[in-house]
Amino acid sequence: MCGIVGFVGKRQAAPILLDGLSKLEYRGYDSAGLAIRNGDEPAEVVKSKGRLKVLSEKTDNGNALIGNCGIGHTRWATHGEPSRTNAHPHVSGNCTGTGSGEVESEVVGVHNGIIENFKELKEKLMKHGYLFYSQTDTEVVIKLVDYYYKKYTHSPQEAIAKTMVRVRGSYALCLMFKSHPGEIWVARKDSPMIIGISDGETYVASDVPAILKYTRNVYYIGNLEMAKLTPGEVTFYNLDGDVIEKELTEIKWDAESAEKGGYEHFMMKEIHEQPKAITDTLNSLIKDEKIDIDSIGLSNDEVRNISQIYIVACGSAYHTGVVTQYVMEDIAKIPVRVELASEFRYRKLLLDKNGLVIIVSQSGETADSLAALRLAKDKGIKTLAIVNVVGSSIAREADNVLYTLAGPEIAVATTKAYSAQLIAGYLLAIQFAYIKNEIAEEYYKNLIKELYTLPQKIEKVLEDKERIQWFVAKQANAQDVFYIGRGIDYAVCLEGSLKMKEISYVHSEAYAAGELKHGTISLIEDGTLVIGVLTQSELYEKTVSNMVECKSRGAYLMGLTSYGHYEIEDTADFTVYIPKTDEHFTASLAVIPLQLMGYYLSVSRGLDVDKPRNLAKSVTVE
């Protein structure tokens, strides 16, 4: 969690840093801070509790802070409550933590990640006379850098390298040294960080949107690497202090995609970007009416050898895995297990040597998913990552990568990345089935053709959004919502329910429709909203029966089904229809009204849709 930024160049740093932080607020938003240097003068540190807005107001949008070099941070608390004292930047001096210690401090820094052995290091530093003002692990790491800097050669590079060897955990660190004006030093392990370069200016950030307005030319800094940033230049070092060469990468995302573009919230904008995310992802993998998996490095022989697939992910990415499981098993006839990364990484795994582990992640930085990937690699199992963020840790470490082309996703609640992940899953299932001769050429071609109709069908669902808004307005006081469905519909329920709870704070549960009567049905009372998802013809009647069971206990029923199943209106109190498609792909359409429901309920309750409480976009801690 947390977003970090840094800038050194010709212009005033603070407004640029605040602008960058505003693009990273999705990563954390309980406090924020800046440290700015004006030439040789010590850093001026300003911090505040609460949203970035508070910091912006306090500094006159950054204009009050003079200097061309600086670092900034927006926090999602891990160690220590959200407060001004615990907000970053932290300084190495023995100050009160209210921003007065910077004058005597050699080191000032911001950090994203978790230092696991911070307690032991804190004790060691206290014995050396260091006093601590905050509860954060970050203050410990800043003071450790200071300790090594003073103990050894007064070289930032050596002090940081020694610190990196000593700390355990994850970090993206951004530091300034009082004795080295005009320089920013960065170091990274297991937390994201990119470095951007433009004419005479250098930027560092946790994620691309923060710098996209200024440059598209970026370097990816590797694990256990450091860099010195000066205006328009970067020098990379490994742990031994050797200079390492890096290739500059051009980011293809355009700056507009990281802006709201006239929508009130990023989430609504991203909901509307789903047709494009799908088309772009399809186009990147379909060449001459065939799915090109060579481009992701999988050969036909390798595919034929796969005896078991493990899909490992968290949250919504996990939900797309559940959909893929149904589709893959049905058409490619390969057994699939879908695993929560946080469980997978600690289980006593009996992995099949001819298995394929597929890690699904929008950010490519989710700590549990990354750990699961590493575990699979350690066990010698082939890995494939389905990732949205180019150059992210998971993308770089997996044997093979399939990029979803959803573009930058800013709202904490995922929508377009989810949709693109579904497409990635369908494409793999269809191609694996084709390679294994499980489906005939004609069906193969029809499936691909059908995939291309999904964007336009999503547009059609979106045309009806006011009707959903109207329905949701009537449900504004809902306490509990239940989502029920079978097969792929159950997988859609998982996502619909998560969308509801994460942004509307309404308790909701997704249940395999047949399972409700094994206990949970006792929660249904007069007026409880139960949403039945019924897009699978074979299971349709069964789910209707389960909806009727709920109705007899007082539930208020909403049905979500495909056009043609009009008889649902005999049972449901309110119905939403989606266009017909191949039933393997209905999740792509059925999820749209459920995303809209979560969105509208959140808006009607006056909540912060894009930045729901307690959450962060990418979960880079365990």
- Number of chain positions touching ligand M6R (CB under 6 A): 16
Residue nearest to ligand M6R (CB): 315
Select from 327-335, 360-368, 371-379, 429-437 the region that touches ligand M6R (CB under 6 A).
Answer: 360-368
Select the span of 7-15, 141-149, 311-319, 595-603 touching ligand M6R (CB under 6 A).
Answer: 311-319
Cβ partners under 8 Å of residue 294, min gap 6: none
Nearest distance in Å: CB 537, ligand M6R: 29
CB of 617 to ligand M6R, least distance (A): 7
Q: Which of 86, 163, 170, 362 binds ligand M6R (CB under 6 A)?
A: 362
The window from 359-367, 377-385, 510-518, 545-553 that contacts ligand M6R (CB under 6 A) reads 359-367
Give the strand pairing for 69-75 and 44-49: unpaired
CB 383 within 8 A of CB 399: yes
Which strand (E) or helix (H) includes residue 531?
strand 529-534
Write the CA distances from 138 to 5, 356, 470, 560, integer angstroms.
15, 38, 47, 48
Pattern 411-430, ligand M6R, x by CB under 6 A = -xxx----------------
Closest by alpha carbon to 234, among 192, 190, 174? 174
Least Cβ distance, residue 389 to ligand M6R (angstroms): 8
Catalytic site includes residue 617: yes
530 contacts ligand M6R (rule: CB under 6 A): no
C-alpha 71/C-alpha 46 separation (Å) is 11
401-433 as b/e: b if 16+ CB within 10 A: bbbbbbbbbbbbbbbbbbbbbbbbbbbbbbbbb
Q: How far, rounded to the nearest angstrom, does the alpha carbon of residue 411 sit from its chain's CA centroid?
A: 9
**Cα–Cα distance measured from residue 230 to residue 517, given in angstroms and rounded to the nearest whole number:** 64
Q: Which of 31, 56, 191, 316 binds ligand M6R (CB under 6 A)?
A: 316
| Shortest distance (Å) from residue 66 CB to ligand M6R | 38
For ligand M6R, the binding residue among 314, 427, 500, 529 (CB under 6 A) is 314
Q: How far is the CB of 338 from ligand M6R (least distance, A)?
A: 14
Tokens of 60: 């006159």
The residue from 226, 317, 478, 544 that contacts ligand M6R (CB under 6 A) is 317
Q: Which is nearer to ligand M6R, 575 or 618 (CB)?
A: 618
CB-nearer residue toward ligand M6R: 110 or 389: 389
Q: Which of 274, 363, 400, 588 binds ligand M6R (CB under 6 A)?
A: 363
Count of Cβ atoms closer than 10 Å to residue 103 Cβ:
14
- Identify which of residues 43 and 394 has a Cβ nearer to ligand M6R in the complex: 394
513 in Cβ contact with 546 (< 8 Å): yes
Of residues 385 through 414, those in contact with ligand M6R by CB under 6 A are: 412-414
Q: Does 502 bind ligand M6R (CB under 6 A)?
A: yes
Quick check: 315 binds ligand M6R (CB under 6 A)?
yes
Please write down the HEC assignment for all residues of 456-489. HHHHHHHHCHHHHHHHHHHCCCCCEEEEEECCHH
* Binding range to ligand M6R, per CB under 6 A, among 69-77, 233-241, 302-310, 312-320: 312-320
Q: Does residue 366 touch ligand M6R according to CB under 6 A?
A: yes
Q: Which residue matches tokens 């999904």? A: 454
Which of 191, 204, 192 shows the shortest CA–CA distance to 230?
A: 204
Residue from 369, 475, 528, 562 binding ligand M6R (CB under 6 A): 369
DSSP assignment string, 336-377: EEEEEHHHHTTS-----TTEEEEEEESSS--HHHHHHHHHHH
619 in contact with ligand M6R (CB under 6 A):
yes
How many CB atoms are closer than 10 A to CB 495? 28
- Indicate which residue of 122, 189, 499, 617 is catalytic: 617
Nearer to ligand M6R, 65 or 594 (CB): 594
Q: How far is the CB of 394 from ligand M6R (least distance, A)?
A: 8
- Residue 597 CB neighbours (<10 A): 28
Residue that is written with structure tokens 């992940």 in the block:
421
- Residues annotated as catalytic are 2, 617
Residues in touch with ligand M6R (CB under 6 A): 314-317, 361-363, 366, 369, 412-414, 498, 502, 618-619
